[in-house]
């Protein structure tokens, strides 16, 4: 029997607390969903706070790598169904505007900001929450966590880029299967399918922050160019991709980081990168 069960949210985070937290540590911007009592489900204030948080870390020159994570036992279970039902009963048009106003710009920022993004998936990631992680460059998943795509379970299509990212991770046929027949995917199966890079026993933030700190000290301009190249090539011909690679090679080749790396190589020293 197919398991379509997704844990349902309960009331929001305590009054006065932001539903999304932002902190900066060692050049790493940490964006944390902060509605643990609601399994970090996405009501409108949370969507707005998440989008604002992504814009903040994307624009902050002190942030050279970004980590996305959640509080409590879930990463993010997607749309807050209580909020969804209320808007549906009122026939509120904002119910469907939210895809263009919140989900699309948020996942676009995750996928395209000029710095690497790591997903530290601390628990269940479902619906849009799962899609957010697939736009990241590297995914750690807690051993007790998992994925559920959920959309068709409530008679909806997929969103937040799942139709683009998921086939590129697992292939078209498997992506359709996962999206059409939602079920809970364990951490072990997620690793086997290629949905995540690593499954973590214990605190998922430990290896995520280790990698984030290392990347924050690295050639972030080059990382950004690689992100751009991969996304461009997914939508363009081989010849167009080669031409774009040449442009990016010129851009990174003229950077201070490249000069520093070459000088350090010749001096047999470790380079110091500044992301410019």
3-class secondary structure per residue, the chain: CCCCCCCCCCCCCCCCCCCEEEEEECCEEEEEECCHHHCCCECHHHHHHHHHHHHHHHHCCCCCEEEEEECCCEEECCECHHHHHHHHHCCCCHHHHHHHHHHHHHHHHHHHCCCCEEEEECCEEECHHHHHHHCCCEEEEECCCEEECCHHHHCCCCCCCHHHHHHHHHCHHHHHHHHHCCCCEEHHHHHHHCCCCEEECCCCHHHHHHHHHHHHCCCHHHHHHHHHHHHHHCCCCHHHHHHHHHHHHHHHHCCHHHHHHHHHHHCCCCCCCCCC
Q: Could you read off the pLDDT of 204-218 as tens digits, one per residue?
A: 999 999 999 999 999
What pLDDT is recorded for position 10?
36
CATH of the domain at 234: 1.10.12
What is the rounded distance in angstroms from the CA atom of residue 264 to the CA atom of residue 244? 28
- 175 in any annotated domain: yes
Last residue of a domain, one of 182, 200, 216: 216
- 108 in any annotated domain: yes
What is the rounded distance in angstroms from the CA atom of residue 63 to the CA atom of residue 23? 10
Structural domains of the chain, count: 2
What pLDDT is recorded for position 4?
36
Q: Are residues 242 and 168 in the same domain?
A: no
Q: Which domain holds residue 224?
A: 220-266
- 232 in any annotated domain: yes
- 274 in any annotated domain: no
Q: Are residues 165 and 129 in the same domain?
A: yes
- 174 in any annotated domain: yes
Q: Are residues 172 and 41 in the same domain?
A: yes
Residue identified by tokens 């993010």 is: 76
What pLDDT is recorded for position 16?
57
CATH of the domain at 190: 3.90.226.10
- 157 in any annotated domain: yes
Q: Are residues 166 and 42 in the same domain?
A: yes
Q: Are residues 196 and 244 in the same domain?
A: no
Q: Are residues 206 and 247 in the same domain?
A: no
- 249 in any annotated domain: yes
Q: Are residues 122 and 186 in the same domain?
A: yes
Q: Are residues 212 and 226 in the same domain?
A: no
Q: Are residues 168 and 238 in the same domain?
A: no
Q: Could you read off the pLDDT of 18-54 as tens digits, one per residue?
A: 999 999 999 999 999 999 999 999 999 999 999 999 9
Q: Are residues 163 and 69 in the same domain?
A: yes
- Residue 62 pLDDT greater than 50, yes or no: yes
């Amino acid at each position: 029997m197919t398991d379509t069960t997704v844990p349902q949210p309960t009331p929001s985070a305590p009054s006065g607390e932001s539903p999304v937290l932002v902190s900066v540590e060692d050049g790493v911007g940490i964006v944390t969903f902060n509605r643990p009592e609601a399994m970090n489900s996405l009501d409108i204030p949370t969507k707005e706070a998440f989008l604002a948080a992504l814009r903040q870390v994307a624009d902050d020159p002190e942030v050279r790598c970004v980590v996305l994570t959640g509080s409590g036992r879930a990463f993010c279970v997607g749309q807050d169904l209580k909020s969804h039902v209320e808007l549906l009963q009122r026939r509120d048009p904002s119910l469907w505007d939210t895809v263009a106003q919140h989900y699309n710009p948020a996942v676009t920022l995750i996928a395209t900001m000029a710095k690497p993004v790591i997903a530290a998936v601390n628990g269940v990631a479902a619906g849009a929450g799962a899609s957010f992680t697939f736009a990241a460059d590297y995914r750690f998943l807690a051993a007790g966590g998992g994925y559920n795509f959920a959309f068709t379970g409530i008679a909806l299509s997929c969103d937040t880029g799942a139709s683009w990212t998921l086939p590129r991770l697992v292939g078209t046929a498997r992506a359709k299967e996962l999206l059409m027949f939602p079920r809970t995917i364990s951490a072990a199966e997620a690793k086997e399918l290629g949905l995540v890079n690593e499954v973590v026993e214990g605190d998922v933030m430990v290896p995520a922050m280790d990698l984030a700190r290392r990347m924050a000290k690295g050639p972030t301009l080059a990382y950004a160019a690689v992100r751009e190249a991969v996304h461009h090539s997914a939508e363009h011909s081989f010849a167009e991709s080669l031409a774009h690679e040449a442009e990016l090679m010129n851009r990174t080749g003229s950077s201070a980081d490249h000069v520093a790396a070459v000088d350090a190589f010749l001096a047999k020293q470790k380079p110091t990168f500044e992301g410019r």
